[in-house]
Amino acid sequence: MKRRWSKFDLQNKARVIACLGLAIWLLSFFIMFIEIERINKATIGLEHVEDLYDTILEMRRYEKNFLLYQGQENRNQILNLFKKARDIYEKMTATPSMVSGIKTKSQWPDAFTEYGIAAGIFKDPVLKKISNKNDQARIRLAGRRLVELSFDLLKKSRTHIARTTHNAIRIPLIAAGMILGLFFVGWILLSRKVINPLIKLEQATKKIGHGDFSPISHPGKIESEVDRLVLAFNRMIEELDARQEQIVHDRKIASLGTLVSGVAHELNNPINNIILTVDVLAGGRKIKKERQAAMLKDILNQAIRASGIVKNLLDFSRAETSVIQDVDVNKVLDEILKITDNELSLKKIKLQRQSASDLPEIRGNHQELQQVFLNLVVNAIHAMKRGGELSIRTFHDDGGRVIVSVRDTGEGIPEDIMPNIFDPFFTTKEIGKGTGLGLSVSFGIVKKHGGRITVKSSMEKGTIFKVTLPAKEEMIYE
């Protein structure tokens, strides 16, 4: 049964639950109708039983009066009431539903016969008094038996109608409980198959907004359109995650583009030195061999310097696969500052560097972390248009988390736009000078690494960005 149920998709399960609920609802109404009919018949039967009981009591009253005081009127009333009692009983037995469930019916004929024989003496028209005590005792005994039977019948009739009424109330309550149970099962099914996946979808979309491309856990079995939606969403996340690497790489190249003047100037210096030295050597002057050797060595050093600059650029701009590895944050910052060193000099920005020697390594993607810190350094450079001071500090807190502080003395961030700086495509730069993706991408990368990024800023005083990342001993990277 369980296997058959598991084969049903969500729509068929919902149909089964709805049909069961409707069937129970209709069945409860049918049973209620039957019980109400039984109550009506039992009520009519109870009225006849009460009439029978009252008639027998009235007959016994006239019987007592006759035995004590005689009188033709008393005798006639006894005979009339006895006949009435028998008629009521025969009417009741002619309609079995009136006395259904009552098991004393077989005793009534004997009781009526016994009283009829005992009361036969009343039919004597000249009878004025019953002086025989045996006749009196027999009449009283037969009458008492009729009273006892009628009282017992009345009590059982009332019990029967009370039980029937109780059943009529209990059945709809049971049906309501079963329907509520089906509603509960339906609610659980709806929650597990529709509401919970939709909540996960909502949470996943928020994570995507922060750069976290973790897929939604799903067994892979398709039971409804919601399952198809979740699977399609996971495929979309896989594609976005694959393209995220390309976005990070493109942002890195774009960041290098903003530093092109500094890089060109840095590369131009060794090339100019080489050209000048070669020009001297080729000028035909007589130069001592020791001097020539020194000049050739200088050419070699300048060529090595230029080669190093090109190598740094190539290493930095190289597209990497998304490899999670141990990363030394201080070394990542060294790589960034090699690229930005000349730009800092050109913009007359003084660099202050404090690196903790005991900084623990973290687990992460080297290329993505490069992008985070390059974005922060480039933004700091752009914020200091008239020069200033850039302070980069690395340290760890008591919990072993790695913290990188990037502080500039630039123009600061207005308070009204502070809540929006991590939003995608939000930028305060001129058109063509920025895409508004730098901080948004950085925020997503840091969150993906299990960390957080915070900012404090004062107008005309500068801005401090702090990146906090868990050390590799405590990090769970998804």
DSSP annotation string for 410-422 = SS---GGGGGGTT
Largest CA distance in the chain: 183
pLDDT of residue 478: 41
End-to-end CA distance of the chain: 39
C-alpha–C-alpha distance, residues 252 and 370, integer Å: 8
Contacts of 255 (CB under 8 A, 6+ apart): 371, 374, 375, 378, 438
**Rounded average pLDDT over 248-271:** 59
C-alpha–C-alpha distance, residues 204 and 210, integer Å: 10
CATH superfamily of 2-190: Alpha-catenin/vinculin-like (1.20.120.230)
DSSP classification of residue 430? P
Scored b (16 or more CB within 10 A) or e, 454-477 reads eeebeeeebbbbbbbbbbbeebee
Q: Which residues pair with 353 in a beta bridge?
A: 392
- Tell me the pLDDT band of 113, cut-offs 50, 70 and 90: confident
pLDDT of residue 352: 92
| Nearest one of 150, 136, 162 to 70, comparing CA atoms | 136
Q: What is the pTM of this model?
A: 0.44
Q: Find out whether 438 and 252 touch, Cβ atoms under 8 Å.
A: no
> Among 198-202, 350-354, 440-444, which stretch is predicted with the lowest mean pLDDT?
198-202
- Tell me the pLDDT band of 432, cut-offs 50, 70 and 90: very low
Q: Which residues pair with 362 in a beta bridge?
A: 327
DSSP classification of residue 431? T
Q: Which residue has the higher pLDDT, 141 or 213?
A: 141
Q: Find out whether 316 and 339 touch, Cβ atoms under 8 Å.
A: yes
| Nearest one of 61, 110, 58, 52 to 86, comparing CA atoms | 52
**Rounded average pLDDT over 209-224:** 65
pLDDT tens for each residue of 30-86: 777 777 777 777 777 778 888 888 888 888 888 788 777 777 777 778 788 888 888
pLDDT of residue 157: 81
Residue with tokens 């004590």: 68
Q: Find out whether 455 and 421 touch, Cβ atoms under 8 Å.
A: yes
* Tokens at 285, concatenated: 């002057």
Q: Which residue has the higher pLDDT, 320 or 174?
A: 174
Domain ranges of the chain: 2-190, 323-478
Q: Which residue has the higher pLDDT, 156 or 101?
A: 156
Contacts of 430 (CB under 8 A, 6+ apart): none
**Rounded average pLDDT over 211-232:** 68
C-alpha–C-alpha distance, residues 379 and 408, integer Å: 9
- Average pLDDT for the chain: 74
Is the model's pLDDT at 466 over the cut of 90? yes
Q: Which of 220-229, 235-244, 366-375, 388-397 has the highest mean pLDDT?
A: 388-397
C-alpha–C-alpha distance, residues 239 and 33, integer Å: 62
C-alpha–C-alpha distance, residues 82 and 142, integer Å: 12
pLDDT of residue 296: 77
pLDDT of residue 431: 38
pLDDT of residue 407: 94
- What 3-state DSSP class applies to 195? helix
Q: Which of 1-15, 238-252, 373-387 has the highest mean pLDDT?
A: 373-387
* Tokens at 344, concatenated: 């800092």
Q: Which of 157-171, 193-207, 289-303, 451-465 has the highest mean pLDDT?
A: 451-465
Q: Which residue has the higher pLDDT, 239 or 454?
A: 454
Burial of 65: CB neighbours in 10 Å, binned 0-12, 13-18, 19+: middle
**Rounded average pLDDT over 141-148:** 83
pLDDT tens for each residue of 348-357: 899 999 998 8
C-alpha–C-alpha distance, residues 63 and 138, integer Å: 12
- Structurally, at CATH architecture level, domain 323-478 sits in 2-Layer Sandwich (3.30)
C-alpha–C-alpha distance, residues 45 and 92, integer Å: 7
Q: Where are the beta strands (DSSP E) in 264-348?
A: 324-327
C-alpha–C-alpha distance, residues 422 and 440, integer Å: 5
